[in-house]
Amino acid sequence: MIELGRGTDTMSDIAKQISELSIEKRQLLERYLKTAGLNLTNAVILPQRRNTNRFPLSFAQQRLWFLDQLEPNTSVYNIPDTHYFNGPLNLRALERSLSEIVRRHEILRTTFQTVEGEPVQVIAEAQPQQLEVIDLSELPEAEREATAQRMANEETEQPFDLTRGPLFRFRLLRLGEEQHILLLTMHHIISDGWSLGVLGRELAALYEAYSTGRGSPLAELGIQYADFAVWQREWLQGEVLEKQLAYWREQLGGELPVLELITDRPRPPVQTYRGTAVDLELSPEVRERLKQVGRESEATLFMTLLAGFNVLLWRYTQQQEILVGSPIANRNRAELEGLIGFFVNTLVLRSKLNAQMSFREFLAQVRETTLGAYGHQDVPFEKLVEELQPERSLNRQPLFQVLFTLQAAEELKLGGLELNWMDIKSDVTKFDLSLFMTETETGLYSWFEYNSDLFDGSTVARMLQHFHTLLEEIAANPDARLSELSLMTRQERAQLEELNQTQSEYHRDQCIHRLVELQAARRPDALAVVYREKQISYDDLNRRANQLAYYLRAHGVGLETRVGVLMQRSADWMVAVLGILKAGGVYVPLDGGYPAHRLRFMVEDADVRLVLTESGQPEIVAQGEATEVVYLDKGWEWLESENEDNPENVTQAENLAYVMYTSGSTGQPKGVGVTHRAINRLVRNTNYVKFEESDRVAQTSNASFDTSTFEIWGALLNGSQLVIFEKETVLSPRELERQLVDQQINVMFLTTALFHQMAQSRPEIFASLTYMVFGGDAADAQFVQRVLEQGKPRHLVNGYGPTEGTTFATAYEAQERDIGARTIPIGRALSNTEAWVLDRQGQMAPVGVAGELHIGGDCLARGYLRRPELTAEKFVPHPYSAEPGARLYRTGDLVRYQSDGNIEFLKRMDQQVKVRGFRVELGEVESLLNQYWAIVESVVIAGKDSLGDTRLIAYIVPEEGVEPTSSEMWNFLQEKLPSYMLPSVFVTIKELPLTPNGKVDRKALPLPEQIGDEVSTSFIAPRTAMEEMVAEIWRQTLGITQVGVESNFFDLGGHSLLGTRVMSQIRENCGIELPVRVLFESPTIAALARKIEEAQSKETEFGRILSMLENMENASEEEVTALLAQTESQSQV
């Protein structure tokens, strides 16, 4: 009919005529139309007979009703429409206009009830409306404006009761004789954005008519929203529904990506709706250029802006697929255009991006996706969720987490009044992030509405600025590749480059053994090394090392000859290493605790020509092999004859000083070659630790661990004293504390794992230190806080860096401001070191945007020994350096810049775990587990169950004498984490296994016999009457014959609406009211039965209290006096 030129009025007239037919005549008409090949349901929405005031909900209403059941008493779905009126106001005309609008639109007098577990909308009779007027005109001007703003905000935040109504509220604030504010508020279940336009136009027409004494100029509505709801349910089924769903199954098939925007705070286990917004305006010149870009690709401004928004999200997350929700009016039938009601539908638009495509190419993809979605917009979002059954989580919206809307700015006129919108500060939001844009005379007005429990305002404001910069780039060069489109202004780029201007003077071209010689010459008698009862001065250390150097040269050790050192940490170990360096060689630390085959591999791989060792160490060189073995504990006497003078130096700062082996992905360790310059840079004239000659530095690290570089050379190159600790001392809090005091230590390093242990048990031991440095793993903020509060050293430093960056590349000094912080940053680049955050395309990541940390400068190792391919892969050309041959090392760590320039560690890029479609940060689970009172520390890993599904396994070290049960720990985490992040198995162990380098050895953790023992998915029959009752409800609701008590409701095909039916049936059977949310939190029969029993117990207690209260109210004064006397005497017995 629309195609034949007949519009809304014709459609309404036909609908009205049909509605006036008798039932028999209507049936006959339907048969005639069917015979003629015409479908009455498709052709026209028929008005329903009003022999009842109860009607079914539309699909959209059904979801909002369910959300209200899940989270009642919320203002999240309030729609405010507030205006300033300037001019003489006809109050009577305004009140009549509002009354007429409520009469015309049944939906404005509709409430929602539950009948036999099913929601229905109930239409009330039309009644004259009273417009409440609140007079603020007597207040002083400033107070008047503030009061009006407060009342407007309060009105917007006042929840609706869907069962009682009304769901359309209005009142008038009088500010002066000709100044008023009209507050209109509706619940989304009866309205939408389009409806506000309908309301405004009708209000304007009626007000003008009534103000001049005329009657209503509006034609009666042919149909009402309830008629649409009935029609929608009759029409959208069978072949019609299947055809539409087929498109969406194809579009949204496979694994659906969950947007991984990095948040400023952990995501709560249950979604919150606290929100606020930031705004910004784009110039009209850029707007017009964007329109031109769209026209050149036959795309609308909406499509162009949506494409730009997707690029922004891609750059922020580096995800190749993005899902964005976008509302559509969904009034593609003419007879719906004049109705108030909840018609709007949300389309899920999926985009696929890659760095090489141009923006214009991507825009073409977005255009096709959008047009396809428009062509299949009749499937309600609610139906789509039910069909696709995405993984359920209470802490985020299904299918998409960000929304994009381009709105039209509509001007409202009311008689001779001047109208202006009133800005309402809403503190709610439905999504993680919503971008709203409006085309105005002055450009494109944009505002980001965001969840303030997830993001800081500064983060979102920066993101909005990045979006505008991106749009300017697109407008200027739409043919650029996506990777070439910058998010940063020149100023922001310059600021990031400035962070890497870290040059400072130090002995850059000196070798480390030459610097020790300088110390020996300047302060020969100063103490250099302390081990047990043995003390060596700088002169003694230098002379003995010289003797060994001459011996080694005589045995073939020259420039960069690799020499193994297989000795316990001791003063002799220091002599051995220094002697190797003076001979021109490279020392290769070998740990006697390693398996013999690993040590043999290292000797062969490094082409070690000579091994310095001592009695009691494993024999790793077989007889007949070319490698010479020298036992120093048997040879010091024959070294006495060697020359004590400093040998001629043959080494340059670019030469290797040591080769240290780290774990490799192939199962074999890889050797990292580190130069003299890189070591020198670590400890000389640097910006994170200031070594003094009076310092006593503890060596707590194994010599095979690269932090020993910091300890050993930090002391010896600065004239300090190196005090070597036994391994057993380091692992005992009490012994460590004693040695720190006895040895007067003021500089110490611990691995993060050991630091956490000490912070947990004895944080006060750090108070005497000048520098306490920790590193090697991500720091847990709670342990740093504990030390800051109970044992703060003068400087508490978090050091970060891989072996390839010579121990530390960045550092952060923790301060009192970090108490209560969520994370501890890894700080900024050290002196003469660079730290760049780059995306996958090698572009600088802006502040707040995640990227891989690349380090450069004088810290870099030469590369991997005999692994040129791996060296080329990990040590890449420096894109921002003019120095020939400059390189950066790819750390594999995902980080981001904070607004203050510090770098925040996020996660390892190669250890992403996905559980039930959601990405899980294991560190987040570990951090929360560590907060449980009975747990000292924990580690969480991912494993596969018998079905091949990923499950989490938690390994916990309990407090001494405590044995927390799995259920206790599970319940503790359940209050803080969504279900997919909960471990399936808890394994109690005495201590966490550590690698020789002091990191947690995850590979050494014992695997449980069967993953899933704790939360088994195998069939377990109901064991109690309550479980049997719940099981029967599930069987009836889900249409299945067998269900186990540990089966998940949603895994069995349950969804939101079925969940409401389950809870309604429980209410009928048990007489208790439980919110639907309980089913999400306890989705198994066993868990739900426990919740019901707990509620019944509380209900019984509540009933007893009410009974007692009633008895008290009915008791006479004499009875009360007697009872008081009786209870008092009993209490004295």
Does residue 600 lie in a domain region? no
The Cα 365–Cα 351 span in angstroms is: 8
Assess whether pLDDT exceeds 90 at residue 297: yes
Query: Is 435 in a helix, a strand, or coil?
Result: strand
pLDDT bracket for residue 80 (50, 70, 90): very high
For residue 194, what is the domain's CATH number?
3.30.559.10
Rounded to 5°, the CA angle 160-164-166 comes to 60
Q: Assess whether 76 and 34 both reside in one domain.
A: no
Q: Is the pLDDT of residue 512 over 60?
A: yes
pLDDT score recorded for residue 1016: 36
**Percent of the chain surpassing pLDDT 90:** 58
Residue 960: pLDDT over 90: no
3-state DSSP assignment of residue 547: helix
What are the helix (H) ranges across 904-1055? Answer: 922-929, 966-974, 1025-1038
d(CA 137, CA 177): 8
DSSP 697: E
Tokens at 1071, concatenated: 């007489």
Determine the average pLDDT of the residues in 261-278.
Answer: 85
| Statement to judge: residues 1099 and 1078 lie in one domain | yes
Residues 528-543 as b or e (16 or more Cβ within 10 Å = b): bbbbeeeebbbbbbbb
Spatial distance between the Cα atoms of 39 and 268, rounded to a whole number of angstroms: 50
Quick one: pLDDT at residue 2? 25
197-206 mean pLDDT = 94
Task: Give the orientation angle of helix 1056-1070 with respect to helix 1025-1038, to 10 degrees.
Answer: 140
Pairwise CA distance, residues 561 & 299, whole Å? 67
Return the closest-CA partner of residue 992 out of 958, 1037, 1041, 1040.
958
| Residue 202 falls in which region: left (phi positive, over 0), alpha (psi -120 to 50) or beta | alpha
Task: Using pLDDT thresholds of 50, 70 and 90, give the confidence band for residue 6.
Answer: very low
Lowest mean pLDDT among 361-370, 381-390, 974-983: 974-983
Domain range for residue 431? 274-332+397-408+427-483
Please name which of 904, 851, 848, 903 lies closest in space to residue 457, comparing C-alpha atoms: 848
Structure token digits, residue 1001: 């050895």
What confidence category does residue 240 fall into, taking pLDDT thresholds of 50, 70 and 90?
A: confident
C-alpha separations of 883 from 495, 838, 874, 886 in Å: 21, 19, 19, 6
Q: 828-848 burial, b if ≥16 CB within 10 A, otherwise e? A: bbbbbbbbbbbbeebbbbbbb
Let me know whether 107 and 166 are in one domain.
yes
SS3 123: strand
Residues 79 and 144 in one domain: yes
Find the CATH number of the domain harbouring 960: 3.30.300.30
Greater model confidence, 239 or 1115: 239
**pLDDT for the residue numbered 731:** 79
Q: How wide is the angle at C-alpha 522 spanned by C-alphas 519 and 527, nearest 5°? A: 60
Q: Are residues 1101 and 982 in the same domain?
A: no
Burial zone of 313 (CB within 10 Å; 0-12 exposed, 13-18 middle, 19+ buried): buried
Residue 5: pLDDT band by 50, 70, 90 thresholds?
Answer: very low
- Would you state the pLDDT for residue 1012? 38
Mean pLDDT of 944-951: 58
C-alpha pair distances (Å), 383 with each of 237, 345, 366, 886, 1090: 11, 11, 23, 57, 32
Domain check: are 37 and 65 in the same one?
Answer: no
Among 175, 195, 229, residue at a domain's last position: 229
d(CA 743, CA 1133): 64
Instruction: Catalogue the long-range contacts made by 135-139 (C-beta closer than 8 Å, 24 or more residues apart).
Output: 135/174, 136/173, 136/174, 136/175, 137/174, 137/175, 137/176, 137/177
User: What share of residues in the chain are helix, strand, coil (percent, to 5)?
Assistant: 40, 20, 40
For the purposes of burial, counting CB atoms within 10 Å of the CB of 1056, is it exposed (0-12), middle (13-18) or buried (19 or more)? buried
- Measure CA of the first residue to CA of the last residue in the chain; give whole Å: 91
- pLDDT level of residue 37 (50, 70, 90 thresholds): low
Is residue 696 in some structural domain?
no
How many C-beta atoms surround the C-beta of residue 121 within 10 A?
24
Same domain, 954 and 920: yes
Angle subtended by helix axes 1085-1114 and 1056-1070, to nearest 10: 40
pLDDT single digits (tens) 81-122: 998 899 999 999 999 999 999 999 999 999 999 998 889 999
pLDDT of 1074 over the 70 cut: yes
User: Could you identify the residue written with the tokens 């396994």?
Assistant: 953
Least confident of 360-374, 496-510, 511-525, 905-919: 905-919
Q: Are 445 and 305 in contact (CB under 8 A)?
A: no
Domain-embedded: residue 494 = no
Q: Give me the mean pLDDT over the 14-18 stretch.
A: 55
Confidence (pLDDT) at 498: 95
pLDDT tens digits for range 320-330: 999 999 999 98
User: Does the structure show a pLDDT above 50 at 886?
Assistant: yes
- Phi and psi, residue 435, nearest 5°: -105, 120
Q: Which amino acid is at 994?
A: L
- Whether the pLDDT of residue 579 is over 60: the answer is yes
Report pLDDT for 728.
84
Judged against a pLDDT cut of 50, whether residue 538 lies above it is answered with yes
Say if residue 1039's pLDDT is above 60.
yes
Q: What is the pLDDT of residue 387?
A: 84
Residue 585 tokens, joined: 């060689």
**What letter represents residue 692's amino acid?**
E
Cβ-based burial of 913 (10 A; exposed 0-12, middle 13-18, buried ≥19): middle
More confident residue, 883 or 269: 883
In this predicted structure, the answer to whether residue 10 has a pLDDT above a threshold of 60 is no
Q: Which pLDDT band, with edges at 50, 70 and 90, does 656 fall under?
A: very high
How many residues does this entry show for the chain?
A: 1133
Q: Is the pLDDT higher at 960 or at 226?
A: 226
Structure tokens at 867: 């692994």
Least confident interval from 445-459, 747-761, 1039-1053:
1039-1053
For residues 979 and 1030, membership in a common domain is answered with: no
Residue 211 covered by a domain: yes
Residue 589 in this model has a pLDDT that exceeds 80: yes
| Cis-peptide into 166, omega within 30 deg | yes
DSSP class per residue in 46-65:
PPPP-S-SEEEPPHHHHHHH
In terms of pLDDT, which residue wins out, 1104 or 1010? Answer: 1104
What ranges make up the beta strands (E) of 234-341? 275-282, 321-328
Is 62 in the same domain as 36? no
CATH number where 1070 lies: 1.10.1200.10
User: How many Å apart are CA 569 and CA 705, to the nearest integer?
Assistant: 12
Residue 1100, Ramachandran bin (φ over 0: left; ψ between -120 and 50: alpha; else beta) = alpha
Q: Where are the alpha helices (DSSP H) in 297-444?
A: 301-317, 359-374, 381-388
Look at 20-34, 51-65, 775-789, 1045-1059 and tell me which has the smallest mean pLDDT.
Answer: 20-34
Sheet hosting strand 132-135, strand order edge to edge: 132-135, 168-176, 179-187, 78-86, 418-421
Q: Report the alpha-carbon distance of residue 999 to residue 981 in Å, rounded.
A: 24
Could you tell me if residue 1065 is inside a domain?
Answer: yes
Label the pairing between strands 771-775 and 795-800.
Answer: parallel
Q: Which two tokens stand for residue 990?
A: 């005495």
Average pLDDT over residues 8-16: 46
* Whole-number pLDDT of residue 493: 93
| CA-wise closest residue to 346 among 579, 150, 95, 59 | 59
Domain co-membership, 65 together with 133: yes
Looking at every residue in the chain, the average pLDDT score rounds to 87
* Residue 645 pLDDT greater than 60, yes or no: yes
Residue 173 lies in a domain: yes
- Section 947-954 average pLDDT: 69
Kindly state whether residue 728 falls inside one of the protein's structural domains. Answer: no
Cross-strand partners of 876: 888
Could you say which of 169, 195, 229 is where a domain stops?
A: 229
| Other beta carbons less than 10 A from residue 374's beta carbon | 11
Selected residue with higher pLDDT from 36 and 325: 325
Please, which residues have CB within 8 angstroms of residue 426's CB and are 6 or more apart in sequence?
80, 156, 157, 275, 276, 277, 449
User: How far is 858 from 15, CA to CA, in rounded Å?
Assistant: 81
Give SS3 for 275: strand
- Report the pLDDT averaged over residues 798-818: 95
- 893-to-399, 797, 903 alpha-carbon distances in Å: 29, 19, 11
Reported pTM: 0.77
Structure confidence at residue 715 (pLDDT): 98
The percentage of residues in the chain with a pLDDT greater than 70, rounded to a whole number, is: 88
Tell me the C-alpha distance between 956 and 969, whole Å.
Answer: 10
Output phi, psi for 153, to 5 deg: -65, -40
Question: Is it the case that residue 504 has pLDDT exceeding 90?
Answer: yes
pLDDT exceeds 50 at position 947: no
Same domain as 190, residue 314 = no
Residue 53 corresponds to which tokens in the numbers above? Answer: 């005031």
Q: Comparing C-alpha atoms, which of 838, 941, 936, 963 is closest to residue 890?
A: 838
pLDDT digits (tens, 9 = 90+) for 809-862: 999 999 999 888 888 999 999 999 999 999 988 999 999 999 999 999 999 999
Q: 512 versus 1028: which is more confidently predicted?
A: 512
Please state the domain count of the chain.
5
Q: Does the structure show a pLDDT above 90 at 1110?
A: no
224 and 291 both lie in a single domain: no
Res. 393 pLDDT band, cuts 50 70 90: confident
Q: How far apart are CA 348 and CA 397, in angstroms?
A: 12
Confidence of residue 624 (pLDDT cuts 50, 70, 90): low
Q: What is the CA radius of gyration of the chain?
A: 37
Q: Is residue 495 part of a domain?
A: no
Q: Is-contact 307 369, C-beta < 8 A?
A: no
